[in-house]
Amino acid sequence: MSIPYRMNSCNAESYAIEILKAEAKIATCLSNLLCDEFVAKIHEVEKVCNDLIQIEIMDL
């Protein structure tokens, strides 16, 4: 993050705060996406495991 040249200190502080807020929103979105993908992968693994269990039961 860089503060534009010739910006006074009050404006620079406000500008920096807005940049940090935007970065926090981006980080939250990325975190949520990664969590959603992780949960989806867990469900895929659960389905495969359940399918394998069903196959084993049928083979008995």
CA-based R_g, the chain, Å: 24
DSSP string, the chain: --PPTT--HHHHHHHHHHHHHHHHHHHHHHHHHHHHHHHHHHHHHHHHHHHHHHHHHHH-
Whole-structure pTM over 0.75, yes or no? no
pLDDT tens per residue, range 8-54: 777 888 888 999 999 999 999 999 999 999 999 999 999 999 998 88
Q: 14 to each of 11, 20, 24, 26, how far by Cα in Å?
A: 5, 10, 15, 19
